[in-house]
């Protein structure tokens, strides 16, 4: 038996990208403020659990969406600090990578890689936010054809003894 009252829809809700990271953090309210200050994130939604914890929040960064919640160990949803770190970095293109990187460090992020110009045309740096998530921030500064990237990679290789 089917429920005819349900409205047919597509597999992805309107206004949502197909892929969105969902971050679990210890201190969700503080994390939301960090992402506002560093990335200029805007909050779309915040839902609290009966105990007051943030059960779900959505932050827009440019044309992307980050979902965020407090840690929920009872549902096997720990933040990176609770499990010894993360092997994942979230990549974000920003208007001014140096400015964003400096704002992150001023907001207590830990630098992992300084901002540098990469051979593929982006200026990139990486930091770990105060909640244990790693962010690779970049500004695209040069369009580089694939052949030129390959040439640059080959030229940067250190040749050992033959």
The reported pLDDT for the residue numbered 5 is 75
Phi, psi (degrees; rounded to nearest 5) at 151:
-65, -45
pTM above 0.75, yes or no: yes
Give 70-103 pLDDT, tens digit per residue: 999 999 999 999 999 999 999 999 999 999 999 9
Phi, psi (degrees; rounded to nearest 5) at 100:
-65, -45
Sign of CA dihedral 63, 24, 132, 42: positive
The reported pLDDT for the residue numbered 8 is 77
- Structure-model confidence comparison of residues 129 and 12, the more confident one: 129
For residues 2-23, give the mean pLDDT. 84
Q: What number of other Cβ atoms are within 10 A of residue 24's Cβ? A: 24
Give 123-150 pLDDT, tens digit per residue: 999 999 999 999 999 999 999 999 999 9
Q: Report residue 161's pLDDT band, with 50, 70 and 90 as the boundaries.
A: low
The reported pLDDT for the residue numbered 156 is 87
Q: Compute the 3-state secondary structure of the chain and give helix, strand, coil in percent, each to the nearest 5.
A: 25, 35, 40
The reported pLDDT for the residue numbered 98 is 98
> Any bridge partners for residue 42, and if so which?
60
Element (H, E) at 64: strand 64-70
Q: Report residue 61's pLDDT band, with 50, 70 and 90 as the boundaries.
A: very high
Say if residue 69 is exposed, middle or buried (CB neighbours under 10 Å; 0-12, 13-18, 19+): buried
Task: Please give the structure tokens belonging to residue 68.
Answer: 């965020």
């Amino acid at each position: 038996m089917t429920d005819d009252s349900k409205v047919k829809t597509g597999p992805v809700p309107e206004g949502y990208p197909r892929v969105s990271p969902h971050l679990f953090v210890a201190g969700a309210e503080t994390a939301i403020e960090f992402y506002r200050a560093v990335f200029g994130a805007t909050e779309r939604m915040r839902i609290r659990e009966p105990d007051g914890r943030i059960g779900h929040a959505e932050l827009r960064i440019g044309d992307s969406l980050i979902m965020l919640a407090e840690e929920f160990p009872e549902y096997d949803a720990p933040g990176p600090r609770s499990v010894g770190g993360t092997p994942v970095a979230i990549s974000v293109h920003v208007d001014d990578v140096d400015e964003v990187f400096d704002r992150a460090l001023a907001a207590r992020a830990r630098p992992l890689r300084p901002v540098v110009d990469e051979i593929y045309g982006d200026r990139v740096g990486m930091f770990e936010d105060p909640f244990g998530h790693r962010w690779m921030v970049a500004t695209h500064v040069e369009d580089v054809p694939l052949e030129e990237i390959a040439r640059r990679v080959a030229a940067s290789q250190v040749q050992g003894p033959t």
